[in-house]
Amino acid sequence: MAARRQVNRAAAGKECTSKNTMTRLDRFISYLQEQCNNRSIYVWGAQGQAACAITESFIKSREKSATNAGRAIAYWKKQMAAGYGDVLRAFDCSGLGMYWLQNTMGLYKSDMSADGMMGTCTKISRDGLRRGDWVFRVNGKGKATHIGYVADDALHVIEAKGRDDGVVKRALTDNGKTYWNAYGRPAIFAGDPNGQAASACPPTVLKLTSPPMRGSAVEELQTALTHLGYPCGAIDGICGEKTIRGIAAFIKAHGYAV
């Protein structure tokens, strides 16, 4: 049963209701799994180009060297020969996520690199990882250069691994315990990243009250909305008029009932 978040807009005398993000996460992971099944390929800078758009010329125009282009072309031809030519797509590591999050769903207003995507996350420990979290390879300057997506509670990661492998699903530690060295919980799935039964949690009702409602649930929502481009004022855990306006803007943009 999908949970519903209710927001009371006291000034307007209306109640706004939006769906919990559990179903969104399920669809995102289903999309990632589909790219694994379809043997989608890795091409530098690619973001979901369909099979009909992928040619040797396209790959060469994206890649930074003839060697890398050759590797990507070899893997592409191998998957074509295996019968995946009509369904595979082309991605790089961040493009795998952003194609669905931005191009398909419109949840982000602009493209982001792996480092940009890390910036939308709450930093977490390796021990705290769960389904829906994102994992990163971070260089010595603190910049994320690669991203993967935790697909299940067994901590399998789906990633656009590279030119020789395409999109794969593998265990978190397949490349050793230090391969992924930073971990984040994306704000986009803040409602229920685990997809757990919503019946165990009552709806969260936010209202303009005096004194104002406050707490971690409010701060989490403010963080998510701000990263999505719906400003809520300060991210301070206090439900004020700016927070209610941010919620209302999100609901209106996504066609939920008001």
- Domain with 79 in it: what CATH number? 3.90.1720.10
Residue 47 maps to a domain: yes
- Comparing C-alpha atoms, which of 27, 30, 21, 15 is closest to residue 220? 21
Across 223-239, average pLDDT: 82
Residue 114 maps to a domain: yes
Residue 185 maps to a domain: yes
Are both 75 and 14 inside the same structural domain?
A: no
Are both 67 and 144 inside the same structural domain?
A: yes
* Residue 17: per-residue pLDDT: 35
Are both 178 and 108 inside the same structural domain?
A: yes
* Residue 201: per-residue pLDDT: 43
Confidence label for 193 from pLDDT (cuts 50, 70 and 90):
very low
Are both 210 and 183 inside the same structural domain?
A: no
Are both 17 and 35 inside the same structural domain?
A: no
* Residue 7: per-residue pLDDT: 31
Q: Collapsing DSSP states into helix, strand and coil, what is residue 169?
A: strand
Residue 183 near residue 206 (C-beta atoms within 8 A): no
* Residue 257: per-residue pLDDT: 55
Are both 116 and 31 inside the same structural domain?
A: yes
* Residue 197: per-residue pLDDT: 34
Confidence label for 66 from pLDDT (cuts 50, 70 and 90):
very high
Are both 225 and 125 inside the same structural domain?
A: no
Distances 170 to 33, 107, 173 between C-alpha atoms, Å? 11, 27, 8
Are both 129 and 180 inside the same structural domain?
A: yes
pTM of the model: 0.68
Across 27-47, average pLDDT: 95
Q: Collapsing DSSP states into helix, strand and coil, what is residue 133?
A: coil
Rounded Cα distance between 129 and 126, Å, is 6
Are both 43 and 156 inside the same structural domain?
A: yes
**Structure token digits, residue 87:** 């369904």
Q: Collapsing DSSP states into helix, strand and coil, what is residue 248?
A: helix
**Structure token digits, residue 205:** 């009702």
Are both 77 and 137 inside the same structural domain?
A: yes
Q: Which of 189, 206, 221 is the last residue before a domain boundary?
A: 189
Rounded Cα distance between 169 and 146, Å, is 15
Residue 114 near residue 136 (C-beta atoms within 8 A): yes
Are both 147 and 34 inside the same structural domain?
A: yes
Q: Which of 189, 213, 238 is the last residue before a domain boundary?
A: 189
- The parent domain of residue 137 ranges over 25-189
Residue 88 maps to a domain: yes
Residue 248 maps to a domain: yes
Confidence label for 204 from pLDDT (cuts 50, 70 and 90):
low
Are both 123 and 207 inside the same structural domain?
A: no
Residue 258 maps to a domain: no
Q: Collapsing DSSP states into helix, strand and coil, what is residue 99?
A: helix
Residue 201 near residue 3 (C-beta atoms within 8 A): yes
Residue 12 maps to a domain: yes
**Structure token digits, residue 170:** 């593998």
Alpha helices in the chain (DSSP H): 22-37, 56-62, 66-81, 93-98, 114-119, 216-227, 241-253
Rounded Cα distance between 142 and 194, Å, is 28
* Residue 210: per-residue pLDDT: 78
